[in-house]
Amino acid sequence: MILEWLISPIDPARSHDIGLALSWHARFMVLGWGILAPLAIMMARFFKVLPGQDWPRELDSKTWWRAHWMSQTMVVILSVIGLVLIWMSSQNSGTATLHRLFGYSVLFLAAVQALSGIFRGSKGGPTDQKSNGSLRGDHYEMTQHRLVFEAVHKSCGYLALILMIGAIASGMWVANAPNWMWLGLSIWWTALAVVSVHLQRQGRAMDTYQAIWGPGSEHPGNRMKKQGWGTRRPDFPQQSFDKQRET
């Protein structure tokens, strides 16, 4: 009985027969936006300092950065493939129109994200291996270029995550996806939300600048307002930090 319900389409009045191109479009988009994109955002938000990392003695962990850009690059690739596949199919119902609005909005934001990442500016600072001894850099100095990048990149990323839910839900309705797909994605997104709330309450949303360069007042970004909502700058006395660096 339960198995029969799970494999039945969400709308019993319609069949679940969408063709090869549309079915693979759905798979690629759900994999990219429903699974990889949320994980990439969580890595960037909650794992700039890894569990067990001796911060601020150990700085600038690259794990979150590699996971974030590699996952998001895969999302872009899957999106391009999915876009080509949807152009090979056709859906003309009102719900399909809504799905297009959600979908193209998400893809537009994805393009903005990719371009902003490419043109985010230089890093600088003592951990930048490309600086040739100079500390100058957009990120280290928190220039206007960097401030604009962070505002655009973060706001577009979270907006895309919200619109993604509408895009996938409306697409699954058009495809009349079986109940197990709705249930599986609902459980997955709920689990991600619960874990995110838990990590946020733990204070895992570390300020990017301090995660990279530490809390020292000699770093110009630490003399400026921290960036991003809900991020944390640990209450770490400067004298204690100086003592740790000396050891």
Summarize pLDDT for 15-67 with one digit per residue, the tens.
Answer: 887 888 889 999 999 999 999 999 999 999 999 999 999 999 999 999 999 99
Give the pLDDT confidence of 193-215 residue by residue, as tens digits: 999 999 999 999 999 999 999 99
Which CATH number characterizes residue 114's domain?
1.20.120
Alpha helices, H only, the chain: 2-7, 20-29, 37-46, 63-87, 94-118, 138-141, 144-174, 179-201, 208-213, 238-246
> How much is the pLDDT for 180?
95
Interatomic CA distance for residues 71 and 144, integer angstroms = 27
Look at residue 25 and tell me if it is in a domain.
yes
Interatomic CA distance for residues 18 and 206, integer angstroms = 44
Look up residue 150 and give its two tokens. 């962070």
Look at residue 219 and tell me if it is in a domain.
yes
Interatomic CA distance for residues 236 and 31, integer angstroms = 40
Look at residue 53 and tell me if it is in a domain.
no
**Which residues span the domain enclosing 149?**
18-47+58-246
Look at residue 165 and tell me if it is in a domain.
yes
Half-sphere exposure of 204 (CA within 13 A, CB side): 19
Q: Is the pLDDT of residue 69 over 90?
A: yes
Check: CB of residue 121 under 8 Å from CB of residue 146. yes
Confidence of residue 241 (pLDDT cuts 50, 70, 90): very low
Taking the CA atoms of residue 120, residue 124, residue 128 and residue 131 in that order, the dihedral angle to the nearest 10 degrees is 110
| Length of the chain as a residue count | 247
Give the pLDDT confidence of 100-141 residue by residue, as tens digits: 999 999 999 999 999 999 999 999 998 776 766 678 999 999
Domains held by the chain: number: 1
Look at residue 118 and tell me if it is in a domain.
yes
Look at residue 138 and tell me if it is in a domain.
yes
Q: Is the pLDDT of residue 244 over 60?
A: no
Interatomic CA distance for residues 72 and 111, integer angstroms = 11
